[in-house]
Amino acid sequence: MPNPQSEIQHFTKNWQQQLADAFDNIEDLCRYLDLSPDDLPISVAATENFPLRVPLSFAACIEKGNPRDPLLRQVLPVNEELAVYPGFNTDPVGDLAAATQTGVLHKYQGRVLFINTGSCAINCRYCFRRNFPYSELQLSKQKEQAAILSIQEDASITEVILSGGDPLLLSDARLTRLMGQLAEIKHLKRIRIHTRLPIVLPARITDEFIDTLKLSPKQIILILHCNHANELNERVIVACNTLKNSGITLFNQSVLLKGVNDDADILCDLSEQLFSHGVIPYYLHLLDKATGTGHFEVSKERALELIQQVQATLPGYLVPKLVTEQTGAASKQYIF
């Protein structure tokens, strides 16, 4: 358990070491947060398939002694995860499980999702991938090469989206090699990276990673995943500034989550804070209906109400698009 001294020391370590130090045990996390496990609706059973995983950088943003903290709610395994909700199933997105076999998911015109790794630095309890055994998936070199070849052979593809899991869990060496190979594909205009790591493990934004991005002849877009302004600590802000100053376009996507950000003031504050650090709000997703996540659901009606309140408060460019994923559709479905 980190004391203030070891906490300072922790943040001088490299990102791999910080990741290895992440909380993986409920008691340790509760002790760090001055909470008693007995006062919380904790479920150890809920961790069997989907363990607790919280980097210290994220845990440090949780208010000590507050059992209702909106960041704690995103990571604490609770009894409600075992409840059965109608309409929730183990594969709400349908095809992602299959895509992890080949590494590519080509659903939308011109864009392919490239899935090299299924693991994440944090385990968000609302995640759709919580029910898949691929959490530790790493695409083999052969499969990765086959995936790159398939992108090379399809001139209709103009954008590759590195996704996961979290693609920034790949080493700098591997990412550099991958970006180099993508750089050689003439018909690609953009490389997009979907990642939560700058938010939950900002030490991942290494000089080597920045150099790799800067050297790419393609336009680079990073889409972050931040759900609440409290996630933006000083280390995260430095990481955003570094990316921004390297010419990277930064967007953010959030998931609308009950008890976390289902409040117009919280959503407005999130947009304002993100933009003040150079990040443009992009999507606000309705929850994917994965088994174990029903207690996070916000109804479509309530979601519409909230986003209209946000629109009535903020300039248009700070209002994220409210969207949902619909199997078989040609794009995300815009709700607002």
Measured on CA atoms in the order 126, 312, 62, 275, is the torsion positive or negative? positive
CA 227 to chain CA centroid, nearest Å: 9
Which residue in the set 53, 107, 196, 225 belongs to the binding site for ligand PLP (CB under 6 A)?
A: 107
| Least CB distance to ligand PLP at residue 253 (A) | 8
Which residue in the set 144, 166, 231, 325 belongs to the binding site for ligand SF4 (CB under 6 A)?
A: 166
Candidates 13-21, 78-86, 116-124, 181-189: pick the segment binding ligand SF4 (CB under 6 A).
116-124
Which residue in the set 122, 266, 284, 287 belongs to the binding site for ligand SF4 (CB under 6 A)?
A: 122
| Least CB distance to ligand PLP at residue 271 (A) | 18
The Cα 329–Cα 239 span in angstroms is 35
The Cα 269–Cα 251 span in angstroms is 16
| Least CB distance to ligand SF4 at residue 148 (A) | 22
Closest CA to 220 of 255, 170, 171, 175: 175
Closest CA to 112 of 194, 234, 9, 200: 194
Q: Tokens 């117009």: give the residue.
A: 264
Give the number of residues in contact with ligand SF4, rule: CB under 6 A: 9
Q: Does residue 147 contact residue 182 with C-beta atoms inside 8 Å?
A: no
| Least CB distance to ligand SF4 at residue 19 (A) | 13
| Least CB distance to ligand PLP at residue 202 (A) | 23
Q: Does residue 321 contact residue 309 with C-beta atoms inside 8 Å?
A: no
108 binds ligand PLP (CB under 6 A): yes
* Residue placing its CB nearer to ligand PLP in the complex, 29 or 124: 124
Which residue in the set 129, 218, 228, 235 belongs to the binding site for ligand SF4 (CB under 6 A)?
A: 129
Please provide the distance, in angstroms rounded to a whole number, between the alpha carbons at the two ends of the chain. 44
Paired tokens of 293: 């996540």
124 binds ligand SF4 (CB under 6 A): yes
**Considering only residues 51-110, where is the footprint of ligand SF4 by CB under 6 A?**
none
Closest CA to 325 of 250, 224, 223, 253: 253
| Least CB distance to ligand PLP at residue 161 (A) | 6
The Cα 61–Cα 36 span in angstroms is 18
| Residue 331 contact among ligand PLP, ligand SF4, none, beta carbon within 5 to 8 Å by kind | ligand PLP
161 binds ligand PLP (CB under 6 A): yes
**Considering only residues 42-101, where is the footprint of ligand PLP by CB under 6 A?**
none
225 binds ligand SF4 (CB under 6 A): yes
The β-bridge partners of 193 are: 162, 222
Report how many helices (DSSP H) and strands (DSSP E) the chain contains, helices first: 13, 9
Q: Does residue 222 contact residue 193 with C-beta atoms inside 8 Å?
A: yes
**Considering only residues 175-234, where is the footprint of ligand PLP by CB under 6 A?**
none
Which residues sit at the interface with ligand SF4, rule CB under 6 A? 120, 122-124, 127, 129, 166, 196, 225
Which residues sit at the interface with ligand PLP, rule CB under 6 A? 105, 107-108, 111, 113, 161, 331-332
